[in-house]
Amino acid sequence: MNKIDIPSTSRIRHRDFIFGVATAAFQIEGDVNNRLPCIWDTFCRIPGKISDHSNGHIACNHIEYWQQDIELISSLGVNAYRFSISWGRVMTASGQINPQGLAFYRQLIDALNRKGIKAFVTLYHWDLPQYLEDKGGWLNRETAYHFRDYADAISRELGDSVYAYTTLNEPFCSAHLGYETGVHAPGKIGQAHGRQAAHHLLLAHGLAMPVLRKNAPNSQHGIVVNIAPCDPLTQFTDDIRAAKLADDYLNHWYISPLLKGTYPDSFSQLPSNARPHIEDGDMAIIQAPLDYFGINYYTRNVVCSNGRRGFEGFEIVPPKKVAMSLTAMGWEVTPISLTKMLLTLAMEYDLPPIYITENGAAYDDQIIDDEINDMQRVEYYKQHLSALDRAINAGVNVQGYFAWSLMDNFEWAEGYQKRFGLCYVDYTTLVRTPKRSALTIKHFLEQKTDAIR
């Protein structure tokens, strides 16, 4: 057994440290006929958008296999499960609750609670109902208010049975990939679109926060952002400046409004025709106090200058040109960037408690004699948990960690070709098989301790 060699005194080993696995509705649920269509259903139908031409029709059929999946989660020994609610499964287009859809999540949460597994519920993991996209989606300010109403309806029903509510997962991806570069649903393109969508997403979060707090006063409430820190390719001034701009544009554009109530200073470099419409009071709404800040970490960006001005002046260097080790996504494996990123954030911001809400890697897994010996993924987890331990030892208040993902699933524009799971999914039989990485984490979690340094 390849062991995760974190010292027994590490906070990560402590019984109270939250150690979970994560998934998202569209990526695992299937059963599309019992919910409203969402932007990803539409996007999957556009030729060329999904690399294997797949869709979410069946996915892992979690809607039918949920009990088996809870047993799987429980068998790993984790104490938390992070999943998302499909907006269009629980709400009708007229804004009423869909009782059948809600009942699904209620039974899931009840079953988790009975097993002592904390439910971390994300309200929005990218699956905007299509009828809202038809009215402008995240470019329409009204969508933020629809989100608040959805958050209100669901948290009234589920209340404190949920340990932690997350408003949004990765607003960068929804805004930048969905409305600026167009590689994700709904596939809109343009800087003005991306920046406006980002603002409305942040506003949606801020509007929902007090409502969630009122309806579930004993739950935790927060948001999850993805951060890929930006390092300069060289120590020349132009590259350093380019990396700083990239960091603002891709990361701090989301972090700074949430934690400081302002966009980064470099906002002024945005062309006037790309600046979002911001109303008086919006920034104060967005800066709603957080019980926790969720960070998804996978990799970093290496950035160089291309000599142009402003946000047009940075370029991301293809990881294969600079990295020693790549995942199947072509992302650099760089655990030290996790430590550095947490330390830098702690210096720049007054941070609430942190959860690492996603971390993991896709590799080309092979199932041989019913076993998946995914040693590269085992190594990835070992290195990243050690990197996290270093940040905790240096004083960063990290309270939990979630592996992405419980099982292989629909990896958005990459379809089912990229496997991030701790458990292998055979997409013909839908059988789930724990990989070596799952067994390694299970073994690690069997040695919890009450000691802490």
The Cα–Cα gap between 311 and 79 comes to 42
Encoded amino acid at 297, one letter: Y
The Cα–Cα gap between 428 and 426 comes to 5
Complex with ligand IFM: residue 285 or 422, whichever CB lies closer: 422
The reply on whether position 127 binds ligand IFM by CB under 6 A is: no
Q: What is the DSSP secondary structure assignment for residue 99, as one 8-state letter? A: H
Over the window 8 to 47, marking each residue x when it contacts ligand IFM by CB under 6 A and - when it does not, the resulting string is ----------------x--x--------------------
Give the binding-site size for ligand IFM (rule: CB under 6 A).
Answer: 8
CB 367 within 8 A of CB 435: no
* Residue selected from 315, 332, 358, 408 as contacting ligand IFM according to rule CB under 6 A: 358
Residues 287-306 that bind ligand IFM (CB under 6 A): 296
Is 29 catalytic? The answer is: no
The reply on whether position 404 binds ligand IFM by CB under 6 A is: yes
Q: C-beta of 122: minimal distance to ligand IFM in Å?
A: 10
Is 414 catalytic? The answer is: no
* Residue selected from 127, 180, 239, 411 as contacting ligand IFM according to rule CB under 6 A: 411
Which residue's CB atom is positioned nearest to ligand IFM?
24
Q: C-beta of 437: minimal distance to ligand IFM in Å?
A: 15
* Residue selected from 170, 247, 315, 365 as contacting ligand IFM according to rule CB under 6 A: 170
The helix (run of H) or strand (run of E) holding residue 294 is: strand 292-296
CB 283 within 8 A of CB 267: no
Say which of 29, 170, 332, 411 is annotated catalytic: 170
Q: C-beta of 420: minimal distance to ligand IFM in Å?
A: 6
The Cα–Cα gap between 358 and 366 comes to 23
Residues 6+ apart with CB under 8 A from 430: 58, 60, 61, 65
The Cα–Cα gap between 62 and 65 comes to 5
301-305 sheet: strands from edge to edge:
230-232, 301-305, 314-316
Among 73, 8, 71, residue whose Cα is nearest residue 441: 73
Q: C-beta of 14: minimal distance to ligand IFM in Å?
A: 26
Catalytic residues: 170, 358
Judged by the rule CB under 6 A, the positions of this chain that interact with ligand IFM are: 24, 27, 170, 296, 358, 404, 411, 420
